[in-house]
Amino acid sequence: MSDVGGIAADRLKSFVERIERLEEEKRGLQEDIKEVYSEAKGTGFDTKIIRQIIRLRKMDKADRQEQEAILELYKEALGMVE
């Protein structure tokens, strides 16, 4: 039986291993994503822009506009606009 210093060692080990396995799979998907970007790049696309596109599609439109408004304000404050 597996009680070590009041800790259920077997259960703990099981949790740790499950997590490690899932993380491994996750890493695999990350690789896949990287490959798609590579492929896109190889086809002549700019991956940085693709990333932006994906981010924008994720982002709520209202949020986006607010962000831009604040930025404008700050730019004005610094005389960065004519």
Partner DNA sequence: GATGCGCTTTAAATGC
Partner DNA sequence: GCATTTAAAGCGCATC
Residues from 23 through 62 that contact a copy of itself (CB under 8 A): 23, 25-26, 29-30, 32-33, 36-37, 39-40, 43, 45-46, 48-50, 52-57, 59-60, 62
Contacts of 75 (CB under 8 A, 6+ apart): 81
Residues 11-50 that bind DNA (CB under 7 A): 23, 26, 30, 33-34, 37-38, 41, 47-48
Q: What is the DSSP string of 9-37?
A: HHHHHHHHHHHHHHHHHHHHHHHHHHHHH
Query: How many residues line the site for DNA (CB under 7 A)?
Result: 14
